[in-house]
Chains A and B, each alone.
Chain A
Amino acid sequence: MSYYLLLSALLFAIGLYGVLARRTAILIFMSIELMLNAANLAFVAFARNSGSLDGQAMALVVIALAAAEVAVGLGIIVAVFRARSSTSVDDLAELRG
């Protein structure tokens, strides 16, 4: 049980690092997917451990949500790329106060 959770935490930390350290929108995006799947892993692990199906159901919801997020997120990235021919998030700093 604890190995699963450790792996999940590791995956999550890698994802978080990716989100914070990467500049390319696509890579950030992939890091977010990584974090989501880390959470999925934790859900499934808990579900198996407790014998209830709640965690598995939650994992399925997260997968569906991730699919929707991919659709929207990639759409945004394509639109941004068309507008500025770059996917670096540091170029998107118009909202600076």
Chain B
Amino acid sequence: MLLLLIILLPLLGFVFLGLFGKQLREPAPGVIASALAGLSFLLVLSGVLTGGGEWAIEDWLPGIPFGLVLDPLSGYMGLVVTGIGFLIHVYAIGYMHGDEGFSRFFAYLNFFIAMMMTLVLAGSYPVMFIGWEGVGLASFLLIGFWYTEKVNADSARKAFITNRIGDLGFLLGMALLYSLFGTLSIGELREAIETSTVLPLALGTAGLLLFVGAVGKSAQVPLMVWLPDAMAGPTPVSALIHAATMVTAGVYLIARSSFLYANLQDVSYVIAVIGILTAAYGALSALGQWDIKKIVAYSTISQLGYMFLAVGVGAYWIALFHVMTHAFYKALLFMASGSVIHALGGEQDVRKMGGLKKYLPRTHLHGLVGALSLAGFPLLAGFWSKDAIITATLAYPFGGTGFYLAGLAVALLTAVYAMRWYVLVFLGEYKGSGQPHEAPPVMTVPNDVLAVGAVFAGFLALPEPLWNLIEPYLAPALAHVEVHHMSLALEWGLIALSAVVALAGLYLGYLAFTRWALPKWYLTFQTWSANAFYVDRVYNALIVNPLKELALVLALFDGFLDTAYIALAGVSGWLGNRLARLQTGYVRTYGALMVLGLVAVLVWGVLR
């Protein structure tokens, strides 16, 4: 019951605010929604501390129970989702102040938390799929929150449709698993796969299909195009859904299915390659963006790529470690961006910012911590988790030196663009107009908490021989993978190397973007990068426009059919009109007709 309550509380908030939110005065919907998210967090916490649990309706679908499971993995993820979610709810009270859709916004946010917890707590794939679709819907509703502007509505549709491709993969993967094993409960599947002799090809296909689902949800190459556009939503949404929680659902899915992927070397290799490609693409695109939120959005794509690299090489717990640290510093970065946008009255172009260090001291500190953590500044949270991923490419079974070098190169880029973001927004001279003002405490306090997390969360899992709390905690819920242990000297040498790389990247970024004398080749690159390497344009030419043409042809045919059927209906309408004239309303006419009919029948009967 406790588990069900975790989902039902925010769902209750959604229903209540959806029905009665308009009658409440401004801060009330936000306070209610935040309180429910906070309660949900406390419930998850108490569930984790008391050792988890299970809850199920046995006869939900024939052969498929509706099961919820709170094990270390879902508990860990649930803490991240509800914890960060609660902070962002609180922040949004300040951010959405004065917005017409204030209560609607919080209703959607609560709906999102409920669906995300369904996804996280799911004990079987169909239940997870419900949550999966639910968060997709929440994402759609929130991206298009200010739906009166066409761009926002278009972005929402783009996100939804792109996700649909991935969802189809998830659905097909589920179907294949069901046909192979006759069950979709994750626990039963784990047992079945670990002792099975099913064709590796079929299993591999199922794994690949599930991964397609993850690719869509987590904005990996080639389905990454929706995430930057998703920034059309309000900033707390970008922080909560499109950085900290929903987009990591793909990583969670793979980690949940780790028992499957741990046996599939080829599929894991594909995942790692997609991951590193995405990481590189995101980092390169982030370098050239001019929109403060889009820089952070592309960095999210890049960091998600890192997570997929981690699950691809078999380092499932490290991916989840990165999910957690990333949730802290990326939510922080987004909400610092939100504070900046708020302070400048809606301005998002970094070319009109600069010098905000002076005006927004508190937000400046948040931005600095977030950017440094993202860049992998030594000892901050992002440093430990990213370094763990890069090192894992050497230590874990499906890794390789190529992955290591690419990961390191992307880490350098990460440091450069993180520094660029910081420099353009906070250093130099203020280039905009109007007087920036610092955000209210309801917005800065959640950021303080996140900043603490972005600094210290990494200390939960340190490399050997120091302590590591996360790996042993998550171990029972993840597949066992043989790790090739490196010598301590090598390991710490690599850590030092990645620290040097991060520092070098930061320094390079600082030099390059404070002096403004960039070489010519960089400006060319800048144009390409600012357009995200024209992927959107290519997709439009190859997929979207042909589909639109097809839709036009179909619409023509549809119009023809419509005309034909309308004509048919017109004929019977005309006929009916004629026949209705028989109905004179005079009883004598009816009587006469009746007699005539009777006579006709009689005559026919006599003559026959």
A28 to B586, CA, bound (A): 13
B582 contact set on A, CB distance < 8 A: 97
Smallest CB–CB gap between A67 and chain B, Å?
Answer: 22
B587 contact set on A, CB distance < 8 A: 28, 89, 92
B585 pairs with A16, CB closer than 8 A: no
Is B580 positioned at the interface, with any CB of A under 8 Å from its CB?
yes
Q: Answer whether A93 and B588 are a contact pair too, CB < 8 Å, given A16-B595, A20-B595.
A: no
B592 and chain A: residue at smallest CB distance: A20
Smallest CB–CB gap between B17 and chain A, Å?
Answer: 53
A16 contact set on B, CB distance < 8 A: 595
Q: Which of B555-603 contact A (CB under 8 A)?
A: 579-588, 591-592, 595
B591 pairs with A96, CB closer than 8 A: no
B591 pairs with A20, CB closer than 8 A: yes
A5 to B580, CA, bound (A): 40
Is A54 positioned at the interface, with any CB of B under 8 Å from its CB?
no
Is A95 positioned at the interface, with any CB of B under 8 Å from its CB?
yes
Q: Answer whether A97 and B588 are a contact pair too, CB < 8 Å, given A16-B595, A20-B595.
A: no
B580 contact set on A, CB distance < 8 A: 97
Smallest CB–CB gap between B144 and chain A, Å?
Answer: 51
B579 contact set on A, CB distance < 8 A: 97
A95 contact set on B, CB distance < 8 A: 583, 585
B584 pairs with A96, CB closer than 8 A: yes
Is A36 positioned at the interface, with any CB of B under 8 Å from its CB?
no
A95 to B592, CA, bound (A): 17
B585 contact set on A, CB distance < 8 A: 92-97
A92 to B589, CA, bound (A): 12
B583 and chain A: residue at smallest CB distance: A97
B588 contact set on A, CB distance < 8 A: 19-21, 23, 89-90
Q: Which of B162-220 contact A (CB under 8 A)?
A: none
Number of interface residues of A (CB under 8 A): 14
A90 to B586, CA, bound (A): 6
Q: Which of A4-57 contact B (CB under 8 A)?
A: 16, 19-21, 23, 28
Smallest CB–CB gap between A12 and chain B, Å?
Answer: 11
Q: Which of B580, B581, B582, B586 has the largest count of A CB atoms less than 10 A from its CB?
A: B586
A42 to B310, CA, bound (A): 104
A16 and chain B: residue at smallest CB distance: B595
Smallest CB–CB gap between A9 and chain B, Å?
Answer: 13
Q: Which of B584, B586, B591 contacts A19 (CB 8 A)?
A: B591
A89 and chain B: residue at smallest CB distance: B587
B581 pairs with A97, CB closer than 8 A: yes
B592 contact set on A, CB distance < 8 A: 20
B584 and chain A: residue at smallest CB distance: A96
A93 pairs with B595, CB closer than 8 A: no
A21 and chain B: residue at smallest CB distance: B588
A25 and chain B: residue at smallest CB distance: B587
Q: Mark A53-97, 1 if CB is under 8 A from B, else 0.
A: 000000000000000000000000000000000000110111111
A96 contact set on B, CB distance < 8 A: 583-585
A1 to B580, CA, bound (A): 46
A94 and chain B: residue at smallest CB distance: B585
B581 pairs with A89, CB closer than 8 A: no
A21 contact set on B, CB distance < 8 A: 588
A95 and chain B: residue at smallest CB distance: B585
B579 and chain A: residue at smallest CB distance: A97
A97 contact set on B, CB distance < 8 A: 579-585
Smallest CB–CB gap between B601 and chain A, Å?
Answer: 15
Smallest CB–CB gap between A32 and chain B, Å?
Answer: 10
In the assembled complex, 5 residue pairs joining A and B whose CB atoms fall closer than 8 Å, in A order, are A19-B588, A92-B585, A93-B585, A97-B582, A97-B584
Which residues from chain B sit less than 8 Å from chain A, CB to CB?
579-588, 591-592, 595
Nearest 7 interchain pairs by C-beta? A97-B580, A97-B583, A93-B585, A96-B585, A89-B587, A95-B585, A19-B591
Which residues from chain A sit less than 8 Å from chain B, CB to CB?
16, 19-21, 23, 28, 89-90, 92-97
* 12 new A-B contacts at CB < 8 Å, known A96-B585, A97-B579, A97-B581: A19-B588, A19-B591, A20-B588, A20-B591, A20-B592, A20-B595, A23-B588, A90-B586, A93-B585, A97-B580, A97-B583, A97-B585
